[in-house]
Amino acid sequence: MAIQTARPTGVSRPGLELLRKALRHGLVLAGGGVVLFLGCLAAFGQALAPYDPLAMDFTARFAPPSLAHPFGTDDFGRDLLSRVMYGARVSVQVAFIAVGISASAGVTLGVTAGYLGGWVDELIMRVMDVIFAFPAVLLAITVMAILGRGVENAMIAIAIVYAPIFARVTRGAVISVRDREFVTAARALGQTHTRIMWAHVLPNALGPIIVQTSLSLAFAILAEAALSFFGLGTQPPDPSWGRMLAEGRGFLGQAPWMGIFPGLAIMVSVLGFNLLGDGLRDVLDPRWRGRR
Amino acid sequence: MSLAYLLRRLGTLLLVLFGVSLVTFAIIPLLPGSPARVTLGVQATPAAVATLERQMGLDRPLPVQYVSWIGGILTRGDFGTSLISRQPIRGEVTRRLPATITLALVALAIGLAIAIPAGYVSALKPGSARDLGVSVMSQLGVSVPDFWMGILLILLFSETLGWLPSSGYRPLSDGFVPWGRHVLLPAATVGIISGSIMARFVRSALLEVLGQDYVRTAHAKGLPRRIVLRKHVMRNAAISIVTIVGLQMATLLSAVVVVEIIFAWPGLGQLALTATLQRDYPALQAAVLLAAVTFTVVNLLTDLSYTFLDPRVSYT
């Protein structure tokens, strides 16, 4: 027999209330605006770019910023604005896929550790401690050494580096809800651990995970840029912001714009995700409210 | 601090270090292609590769290889031989580890020199223009890629003004000035970023102490503001600031790795990247292992330092 529960009218649901609160928050709006702009750039950048990002023009090598080339050109005469616009796609794609893998693995481990506790928790968290013991960039470089260069492997490397953060954040959030009445009630009804973990515990522990996702997207953009800067991530001639900075480094005296605009693009994108993450933390996590 | 707590922490440390050594050891078995092939080149015959693998002990079972590798490091400090230079890696890492630690320490000093005054002026007048300035600086600090900051500093101080060298390293034994001129830009790159991030945490720590009853009492009994701030506020905020420094070490050491590469600073980060690009796997193992051990030990020392700074904290 299905039991219908009447939803009181005139009372907003918690999700909608949070969404309204988020949309009124300055940091969420500012960060969200930047992220939305970045998303549009990633989706339509190639179509909107004034030039082909790979097209070389040896008559326009090292052209300084002008109306024809607002960000100037590089050592092959390629238009830097078009390359920066195209590079957004690489950054966004890598960041979302890497964080997707990282969050899936980290959240699964964190929910399992936090909910089951005991030796399972101890084992999972000690393994996470070991991964944490490596400086992030060094671990990413090592994973790239094992997997080989390339943008797909960069995604895997970034995912491995940031999975323990998701595991820790999720575990903490799960521990704070696992002993609440609704979980005890679900247990008393004879539901399986798997069902309780995914249907009852996780949805109530989502706040910190959403915040961490936004902050991790910022880290992932930085990490992809760093790996490409070292020549391990995106390979030439594909334009990636990190790769463009590495190319520009050799011509700083001659064409400083080559070292400025790609870096600015990275900074603004990372800033967008960070602001969004901080704003969401204010909205979703009451402990953080008013700390700034 | 109870002895039981100390022993428990040391036990966890040993467990984590054991895990770190296993992961680091696993680099070579997981790698595509054998180190013997890298040493001999692509033209080498399979028989020659097999002979060298036997000589290098790579044909032994993995547990035996692990015990021999970790035993060599623990008893003789023997990290193996570089596949590229054919020299023992021990000499290389003992030269590079102090360079990395020096860079990290100078960067930390610059970071604290930025964070403490910035956090202080910001906490004294929350909501003021100065406070807003520190918040903006902090947000930018988290968002600026360290390698880009390095490029901007090179552009300004080396390329445009010509004041400082854009790369390279001089040991302290060559004199303070040449050493300082070389360390300043890489350390400032890391220090400016981590200082901006730490400023926000210093501000929070100070604000928390400023709101305590004993601070109000100190003001009420007529103590000069300077004394209240120095004796009551700063001293009590010290523990939180040490925590911040400890937490920041992770970001700082990661940034040092990146900055070493940009400024051709001969430390462990540069060794790791060069080893990766040249497929010099034993050198990569040594750099990664040492960096992770340093990092883990620094974390433990930060934790233990709380009890020395604040006798009220006791672990049982």
- SS3 letters for B191-232? HHHHHHHHHHHHHHHHHHHHCCHHHHHHHHCCCCHHHHHHHH
Average pLDDT, chain A: 85
Inter-chain CB pairs, A–B, below 8 Å: 135
The DSSP element (H or E) to which A215 belongs, if any, is helix A206-229
Task: Give residue A117's pLDDT band: very low, low, confident or very high (50, 70, 90).
Answer: confident
pLDDT, mean of residues A138-162: 89
The pLDDT of residue A13: 67
ipTM of this model? Answer: 0.79
Whether the pLDDT of residue A270 is over 80: the answer is: yes
**Judging by beta carbons within 10 Å of its beta carbon (0-12, 13-18, 19+), is residue B291 exposed, middle or buried?**
buried
DSSP assigned state of B83: T
The residues in A 251-270 lying below 8 A from B, measured between CB atoms, are: 252-253, 256, 259-260, 263, 266-268, 270
Tell me which chain B residue has its CA closest to the CA of residue A230.
Answer: B273
**For the residues of A139-178, what is the DSSP string, one character each?**
HHHHHHHHH-SSHHHHHHHHHHHHHHHHHHHHHHHHHHHT
The pLDDT of residue B237: 82
- Which residue segments constitute the domains of chain A, with CATH numbers given? 39-56+74-291 (1.10.3720.10)
Spatial contact of B52 and B41, defined as CB atoms under 8 Å apart: no
* Helices of type H across chain B: 3-25, 27-30, 35-40, 46-56, 62-76, 89-124, 129-143, 146-153, 176-210, 213-220, 225-227, 235-262, 268-278, 281-309
The residues in A 214-253 lying below 8 A from B, measured between CB atoms, are: 218, 222, 225-226, 229-232, 242, 245, 248-249, 252-253
Whether the pLDDT of residue A135 is over 50: the answer is: yes
The residue with tokens 């300055």 is: A26
> Each residue of B33-53: b (16+ CB within 10 Å) or e?
ebbbbbbbeeebeeeebeebb
Alpha-carbon distance B119 to nearest alpha carbon in chain A (angstroms): 12
- Which residues of chain A are within 8 Å of residue B152 when distances are taken between CB atoms? 259-260, 263
The pLDDT of residue A129: 86
The pLDDT of residue A2: 45
pLDDT per residue as tens digits for the range A31-76: 899 999 999 988 888 888 888 888 888 888 888 999 988 999 988 8
Whether the pLDDT of residue A3 is over 70: the answer is: no
The pLDDT of residue A281: 80
pLDDT in single tens digits along all 316 residues of chain B = 577 878 888 888 898 899 999 999 988 888 777 777 777 777 778 888 888 888 777 888 889 989 998 999 999 888 888 888 888 899 888 888 888 889 999 999 999 999 999 988 888 887 788 888 888 888 888 889 988 999 899 989 988 898 999 888 888 888 899 999 999 999 999 999 989 888 888 888 888 888 888 888 888 888 888 888 888 888 888 877 877 777 677 778 888 888 998 898 998 888 888 888 888 888 888 988 988 888 888 878 877 776 666 666 555 4
Residue B237 sits at φ, ψ, to 5 deg, of -85, -10
In angstroms, rounded to a whole number, what is the distance separating the alpha carbons of residues A152 and A157? 9
The pLDDT of residue A54: 84
Phi-psi region of A99 (alpha: psi -120 to 50; beta: other; left: phi over 0): alpha
Whether the pLDDT of residue A235 is over 70: the answer is: yes
pLDDT per residue as tens digits for the range A4-33: 444 444 445 667 777 787 778 788 888 899
Please report the sign of the dihedral spanned by the C-alpha atoms of residue A19, residue A23, residue A25, residue A26: positive
Alpha-carbon distance A16 to nearest alpha carbon in chain B (angstroms): 29
Cα A211 vs. chain centroid, distance in angstroms? 10
Alpha-carbon distance A186 to nearest alpha carbon in chain B (angstroms): 35
Spatial contact of B300 and B12, defined as CB atoms under 8 Å apart: no
The residues in B 147-186 lying below 8 A from A, measured between CB atoms, are: 147-148, 151-152, 154-155, 159
Percentage above 90 pLDDT, chain A: 29
- pTM listed for this prediction: 0.83
Whether the link from the prior residue into A237 is cis, omega within 30° of 0, is: yes
Task: Give residue A287's pLDDT band: very low, low, confident or very high (50, 70, 90).
Answer: low
Report the length, in residues, of chain B.
316
Cα A18 vs. chain centroid, distance in angstroms? 22
- Which residues of chain A are within 8 Å of residue B146 when distances are taken between CB atoms? 226
Alpha-carbon distance A173 to nearest alpha carbon in chain B (angstroms): 20
The answer for residues whose C-beta is within 8 angstroms of residue A214's C-beta and 6 or more apart is A31, A273, A274, A276, A277, A280
Is B261's CB within 8 Å of A230's CB? yes
pLDDT per residue as tens digits for the range B3-61: 787 888 888 889 889 999 999 998 888 877 777 777 777 777 888 888 888 877 788 88
The pLDDT of residue B232: 83
